[in-house]
Amino acid sequence: MIRRGVQAVLCITLLLILVGVGLIGAFTLAFSPSREIVYRELDDGLLKLQIFEPEDSESGPRPGILFFFGGGWTGGSSLQFYPWAEHFSSRGWIGMTADYRVYSRDGTKPADAVEDARAAYRFVVENAGLLGLDPARIFLAGGSSGGHLAAASVITPWPERGSLADPAGLVLLNPALDTRVEGEDHYLAGFPGFFDGRGEEISPLHHIRPGLPPTLVAHGTADGVVPFAHSRDFCEQMQAAGNICRLLPYEGAHHGFFNWGFGRFDEVVGEVSAFLAPLR
């Protein structure tokens, strides 16, 4: 129903306030990237990657993980995943977060954000040497709409992709995997026209096929913004197609449970690290 869609917008807005404002000072003090680098130049601005590099002296290409923030494609900040990127850099990875265009700042739609996410992934792969990365050990990750971007960058049709290889794996945290907005009961029904008729085109749930990268999906069973059932359906379809997909249901957890400062950060990071360990 439309009311449900409005409630989803309010929940997302509250999350943005907590993450983007209430914790911003703590993020600035506790987590800081080693450097920033422009990955895309647009007519109205630059899009950047924030790079978190290990402090150890180990040489050679390293595994890397690129995070996309959440915010309903309307807002948010890469600050959300600074703690995650820092965590992985402290363990010898190169952690990365990416800016991308959102509606509140740029007047853009979800398909534009997918375009940015694809550009960020292409840049990371094609500049792996500059970044100290092993191009065969790059992972994509994200939460909520950022989880959608990570998945859509790999799973949905991408005519300009060329020979660009898939990432080594995906980590999706309460991701928005179904963007084919159909019926008034769909969780995105409160976003009329927001997808410009391209919802199915960029919907990961509707483009599953054999040969996709190993995927971990972590989702709270009490999520009132993005239905837990969509993640369950996604993993079932992935497995039916012969892909590796592990679903981690967090009983009673709400949307955004994985964020730093929300109580279950260490638990979720530990589960994600355990999943990625053999893949790296």
183 or 265, greater pLDDT = 265
Identity of the amino acid at 47: L
Angle between helices 265-276 and 82-89 (to 10 degrees): 50
Cross-sheet strand order for the sheet of 62-68: 35-42, 45-52, 94-98, 62-68, 133-143, 169-173, 215-220, 245-250
Question: pLDDT-based confidence at 189, cuts 50/70/90?
Answer: confident
pLDDT in tens, 35-47: 999 999 998 889 9
CA separation for the pair 138, 93 (Å, rounded): 10
Q: Where exactly are the structural domains of the chain?
A: 2-276
Residue 111 is predicted with a pLDDT of: 96
Class of domain 2-276: alpha beta
CB contact at 8 A, 250 and 264: yes
The distance of Cα 105 from the centroid of its chain, to the nearest Å, equals 19
Residue 280 is predicted with a pLDDT of: 77
